[in-house]
Amino acid sequence: MDKQSASASSALANPCHTISLAAARVVINAAFEAAAEFGWHISVAVVDRAGELVSLDRSDKAIGISPTVALGKARTAALLRAPSKEFETFINAGSPSFLATPGVTPLEGGIPLWLNGEVIGAVGVSGAHGANDSQVAEMAAEALATL
C-alpha cells in the first residue's frame, strides 16, 4: 500500500478496540467475587463499546429484574462514556430532561471499561442497590488491570 492509499484509508476509518469475551468473563468473575464478600446477590452485564451485550450472568438468588437493569446500566456507561451514576445525579438534581435520552438507564452501577484512554466497553451491576452496585462494578473494572 502506498502512502496515498494509507492516508485515504485512515481518513475513511478509525481503528477502535472493544472488549473480548475472555476479558468480559474476567470482569464478571471479579464482580461475583466482590459481591460474595458482602453476601450480595447480583446480576452482571458486560457490553462492548457500542453497548451490545458481550456477556451476562446472574447469581441464583438475584431478583428477576436485575439482569435487565444490569444490562441497561452497562449500556448507559458504554454509550455515554461515563458512570451511569452521573445521569442519575443529573435527574435527581432537577434535570429530568435526561430521561428523554434514548436507551439510558440512569441508575447507579454502570462503569465504563477503559484501555489506553479509550472506552472498550462497560460493566453494569444490579441487585446490591445503588452505591453497592457501583462499588462492585468499580472493583470488577479494576480486574482489567490484571490482564
Q: Is residue 147 very low, low, confident or very high in pLDDT (cuts 50, 70, 90)?
A: confident
Q: Which ranges in 13-130 belong to alpha helices (H)?
A: 21-38, 66-80, 84-92
In sequence order, the β-bridge partners of residue 57 are 44
21 near 54, Cβ under 8 Å?
yes
Smallest CA-to-CA distance from 122 within 132, 130, 111, 131 is with 111
Q: Summarize pLDDT for 33-76 with one digit per residue, the tens.
A: 999 999 999 999 999 999 999 999 999 999 999 999 999 999 99
CA distance 76 to 124: 9
Is the CB of residue 139 less than 8 Å from the CB of residue 31?
Answer: yes
Cell of 52: 451490545
pTM for the full model? 0.91
Q: What confidence score (pLDDT) does residue 22 get?
A: 98
Cα end-to-end distance, the chain, whole Å = 34
Tell me: the pLDDT tens digits for 90-125?
Answer: 999 999 888 888 988 999 999 999 999 999 999 999
Residue 3 · residue 33 · CB < 8 Å: no
Q: Give the C-alpha separation, 74 to 72, whole Å.
A: 5
Dihedral of CA atoms 110, 46, 79, 71 in degrees, nearest 10, equals -70
